[in-house]
């Protein structure tokens, strides 16, 4: 069960670090709006558990980021709009950030960076010098390096989110995503991700792809 008070505190800390809090609006309504979104009934994997995990991984990778608090805000927004049958979730999530963050007192430059990072999760392919993008993408993909039981739970939850897709179509689409990920020069961009997660993630993806091919 997600610790909602702790999540509200984490959001407030990231928001206040990215703005001048003395004259800015109360973070609570913005946190509650996002928390409501992350608890929508259509979600099975993209839930508060995923949000918490991504935030934890951002903290784990914070030393590699240029602006860790902007990355944390991007983590909050990166799947804030999520409908499994829609293809523009990242774009709509970025636009939500572009509307909410200026109102919450975040300067234009940092708002634009949050939105850019959210859009980057469409491809998970940050540039070599994009340290903030590398941290967010690695944090989002860290589930791929989960132990076997957690990885199995992840794939089952993804399937539940796409319950409306027939089995053959789902297997074909999922296999295409796995091949795309395996074709990346590196699944992870930070030194930590490359050292700690890459080998396990490739094993998990390859094993899943093999299972889908049976």
What H or E segment, with its residue span, contains residue 61?
helix 48-61
pLDDT band at 213 (very low <50, low <70, confident <90, very high): confident
pTM: 0.96
- Asked whether 54 and 78 are in contact (CB, 8 A), the reply is yes
Is the pLDDT at 84 greater than 80? The verdict is: yes
Task: Tell me the average pLDDT of the chain.
Answer: 96
**Angle at CA 154, nearest 5°, toward 153 and 155?**
95
Choose between 23 and 122: higher pLDDT.
122
Provide the CA 162 distance to its chain's centre, in angstroms: 18
Domain span at 156: 4-213
CATH of residue 186: 1.10.3210.10
pLDDT band at 23 (very low <50, low <70, confident <90, very high): confident
Provide the CA 48 distance to its chain's centre, in angstroms: 11
Tracing tokens 């590699």 back to the chain, one arrives at: 64
Query: Domain total for the chain?
Result: 1
Is the pLDDT at 157 greater than 80? The verdict is: yes
Q: What is the mean pLDDT of residues 136-140?
A: 98
Tell me how far apart the alpha carbons of residues 182 and 208 are, in angstroms, rounded to a whole number: 11
Tell me how far apart the alpha carbons of residues 161 and 163 are, in angstroms, rounded to a whole number: 6
Tell me how far apart the alpha carbons of residues 113 and 106 are, in angstroms, rounded to a whole number: 11
Tell me how far apart the alpha carbons of residues 206 and 10 are, in angstroms, rounded to a whole number: 35
């Amino acid at each position: 069960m997600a610790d909602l008070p702790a999540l509200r505190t984490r959001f407030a800390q990231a928001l206040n670090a990215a703005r001048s809090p003395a004259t800015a609006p109360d973070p609570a309504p913005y946190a509650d709006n996002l928390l409501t979104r992350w608890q929508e009934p259509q979600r099975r994997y993209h839930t508060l558990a995923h949000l918490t995990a991504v935030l934890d991984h951002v903290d784990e990778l914070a030393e590699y980021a240029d602006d860790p608090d902007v990355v944390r805000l991007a983590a909050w927004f990166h799947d804030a709009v999520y409908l499994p049958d829609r293809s523009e979730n990242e774009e709509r999530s970025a636009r939500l950030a572009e509307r909410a963050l200026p109102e919450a007192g975040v300067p234009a430059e940092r708002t634009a960076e949050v939105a850019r990072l959210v859009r980057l999760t469409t491809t998970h392919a940050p540039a070599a010098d994009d340290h903030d993008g590398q941290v967010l993408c690695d944090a989002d993909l860290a589930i791929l390096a989960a132990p076997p039981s957690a990885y199995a739970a992840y794939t089952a939850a993804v399937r539940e989110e796409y319950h409306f897709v027939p089995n053959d179509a789902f297997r074909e689409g999922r296999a295409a995503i796995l091949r795309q990920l395996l074709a990346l020069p590196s699944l992870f961009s930070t030194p930590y991700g490359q050292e700690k997660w890459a080998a396990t993630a490739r094993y998990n993806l390859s094993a899943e792809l093999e299972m889908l091919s049976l």
